[in-house]
Structure 1
């Protein structure tokens, strides 16, 4: 398990962090998992405030292709729209598990916290049904992994990053190596990238 301090340090390079009380969650109080509440209270992805009337926009990670967006707690409930329901939380989609909570998204593809297992899943939208795969065993591993990949991607030079075809073999090797160091397991790192279909 990765520490609060480690994840806070990783995220701090990507935007402002600010402790956020669970009262900022706009859904039903019992629908906010304690691990998510603790994540926002202790780490608190906040991001920039571009317009005062809009408030904080959260943290955006550049990972190649579409960025990964992690909202502040005040926007987390509204992020569920389009996944758990269309326009009314009281009329949820049958295809969406009541145990799932979207915690981040990449071009509409959700990273999902499973309230039952504590795992973080990843799924592609637009397939007609949801078929999420396990991305990480817990929330901190998921967030830390995403930031680790973003950090590597930011350091890649033009020889390792082909903007037309994605990462070169050398770039892919760097991502895998850094993610393996973060997770402590090359096998786990490879499984995470596979579930995310990061190289494809």
Structure 2
């Protein structure tokens, strides 16, 4: 099955902002489509993202496991376990040709959908326990990067994020939602995304 036509890339200004935000957490550098390790065509939005944002191996600390970005030369290999079985190499039937895993939090993928440009995630139950198809969460790759970096910025600045009974403080939860709202432009979206990212008490 051939993938659908690709959506346009985010604007250069949005990608530049995403690059600046991600550079705080790790290496970023221009990467060209020739570094893509597959004969399948690289979606134009992904090509633009790696040229203008260019994550290397970047970890953004957050609650639980960090958000992990990887370089273009490793992007195809990181599809293992999602596009195909790690054990047998067989193609997994519930994976769409239109999808590419672009970042991870533990075993939970952030999935770029070439035809729409959106980034999809599973629900709050996580990838392995999902009951439904992944849903659009971020409008595009730039918004995803800015949102994850905004959460990472809050987490890095939280000296003592937990109460005595190991619950997240209301202050940290509020800051995470506020940082996401600054990127996403909506309190409702910010709360929903925070909960998908593991901040389950966000409101």
TM interval, shorter chain, is 0.7 to 0.9
Q: After alignment, is 132-141 or 142-151 more displaced?
A: 132-141
TM-score (norm 1): 0.84
Aligned length: 187
When the two chains are superposed, the root-mean-square deviation of aligned CA atoms in Å is 2.3
Aligned match of 1:99: 98
Residue aligned with 2:100, SS: strand
Instruction: Kindly report which structure 2 residues correspond to 1:120-159, keeping only aligned pairs within 5 A, or say none.
Output: 120-123=119-122, 124-127=126-129, 131-158=133-160
Structure 1 distance, partners of 2:127, 2:49, is: 26
Structure 2 distance, partners of 1:79, 1:169, is: 35
Once the two structures are TM-superposed, the CA of residue 161 in structure 1 deviates from its matched residue by 3.2
Once the two structures are TM-superposed, the CA of residue 118 in structure 1 deviates from its matched residue by 1.2
Once the two structures are TM-superposed, the CA of residue 162 in structure 1 deviates from its matched residue by 4.6
Aligned match of 1:79: 78
Q: Does 1:178 align with 2:179?
A: yes
In the alignment, structure 1 segments of 5+ residues that lack a partner are 47-57
User: Does the aligned pair in 1 maintain the 2:180–2:194 contact within 8 Å?
Assistant: no
In the alignment, structure 2 segments of 5+ residues that lack a partner are 1-9
User: Does the aligned pair in 2 maintain the 1:103–1:110 contact within 8 Å?
Assistant: yes
- Structure 1 pair 166/141, CA: closer, same or farther in 2 (3 Å)? farther
Structure 1 distance, partners of 2:64, 2:99, is: 25
Structure 1 distance, partners of 2:131, 2:181, is: 31
Task: Give per-residue Cα distances to partners, 1:131-161, cap 9 Å, x unaligned.
Answer: 3132211111011100100001100121x33
Aligned match of 2:34: 23
Residue aligned with 2:59, SS: strand
Once the two structures are TM-superposed, the CA of residue 115 in structure 1 deviates from its matched residue by 1.6
TM-score (norm 2): 0.83
- Structure 1 pair 88/19, CA: closer, same or farther in 2 (3 Å)? farther
